[in-house]
Amino acid sequence: MNASQSTTSSTKTPSTVRIKVKRQDRPDTDPYWQPFDVPFVANANIISCLQQIASKPVTADGRRVAPVAWDCNCLEEVCGACTMVINGVARQSCSTLLHELVSDGTGTTDEPIVLEPMSKFPVLRDLFVDRSRMFNNLKAIKGWVPIDGTTSLGSGPKEDQASQDMRYALSRCMTCGCCLEACPQFTFDNDFVGAQVIGQALYFNMHETGAELKDDRLEAMEAPGGIADCGNAQNCVKVCPKELPLTEAIASVGRQTTVHAIKSFFTGK
């Protein structure tokens, strides 16, 4: 009876957790796997596990290795920097709590937690990827409000509540890359821009002043890699940690490009 009780309690709160990390020393070298054991701390997040590894970079089989590199900044799921693939799913390592992964009702602690860098972006080192493709794509669609000039533009335009609600939701994008990692159409080396940029195109097209660049944005959306490459798998909206209405944004920009393309077909722009 005692034995069974102790088994039960050890299943629920293990003393250590096995973490398997996909490592890569340089951008141009091959990846490899290393297991680490870290102490189980209730409410710890994945980043604190990585800090544990950094403080004692010894693998589960006792080899001393270089500490695991990763990217992070805000630690409160608003910057997007610490996105990685955790147990096969793209999410932020700051808001992924250890106990969710260890005792998620199944009670299995034998399964290691698997950490991988996002597969759709070039790896710089270990779990640290280069997400500049997303920022370049934002530049391509002119993801800003054009207010530069030498004269006063006066007060900003008024905005109705419904538009404000939609734009607020779209403004929460933190360029983390989860939607792109989960997208079957967005690959490592194609030119699809993915849900992130399509959402931001709508965000700036809906702004009264930002709409001055609407035609430019829609032309970028009609270019190779633009909205037409969406395959409607709708994974983006399901993995988005900020719950952006991405599929509705894609449909909206789809309508805008349809109208824009028909107009320019008949008027020649």
Partner 1 sequence: MCIRVYVPSHAGPAIVSQPEPKSPDIGFMDRHHFLLRRLHSLSGIVPVGVFVIMHLFTNAQMMWGQDETGESTFQHEVDFIHATPALLFVEIALWGAIAFHAGLGVLYMTGIVPNVMKYRNLDNWRYTLQRVTAWVALVFIFVHIATLRWRWSMFGWFTPFYARVDAETGWTHGGEAMALPLTAYALQYSWLVVVFYAVGVLSVVFHWANGLWTAAITWGVTISKGAQRRWGFMCAGLGVALTAFFLAAMVGALKYDLDSDMTERQQKALDKVVPTWRGDAPDSSNE
Q: Which is nearer to partner 1, 44 or 118 (CB)?
A: 118
- Residue 75 engages partner 1 in binding (rule: CB under 8 A): no
Measured between alpha carbons, how far is residue 177 from residues 50, 128, 180, 204, 242 in Å? 20, 13, 5, 19, 11
Q: Which is nearer to partner 1, 168 or 188 (CB)?
A: 188
- Residue 64 engages partner 1 in binding (rule: CB under 8 A): no
CA 69: distance to chain centroid? 18
Q: Which of residues 147-176 bind partner 1 (CB under 8 A)?
A: none
Q: Which is nearer to partner 1, 7 or 132 (CB)?
A: 132
- Residue 22 engages partner 1 in binding (rule: CB under 8 A): no
In terms of Cα–Cα distance, which of 245, 248, 253 is closest to 206? Answer: 253
Q: How far is the CB of 23 from partner 1 (least distance, A)?
A: 12
Q: Which of residues 85-104 bind partner 1 (CB under 8 A)?
A: 88-89
Say which residue the tokens 């821009």 belong to.
193
Helix (H, G, I), strand (E, B) or coil at 55: helix
Tokens of 154: 């006066």
- HSE value, Cβ hemisphere, 13 Å, CA-based, for 4: 1
Q: How far is the CB of 232 from partner 1 (least distance, A)?
A: 4
> What would the DSSP string read from start to end of 60-79?
TTS-B-PPPP---S-SSSSS
- Residue 133 engages partner 1 in binding (rule: CB under 8 A): yes
* Structural contact between residues 98 and 44, judged by C-beta atoms closer than 8 angstroms: yes
Residues that bind partner 1 (CB under 8 A): 25-28, 69, 71, 88-89, 121-122, 124-125, 128, 130, 132-133, 135-138, 140, 182, 184-185, 187-191, 222-226, 228-235, 238-239, 245, 247-248, 250-259, 261
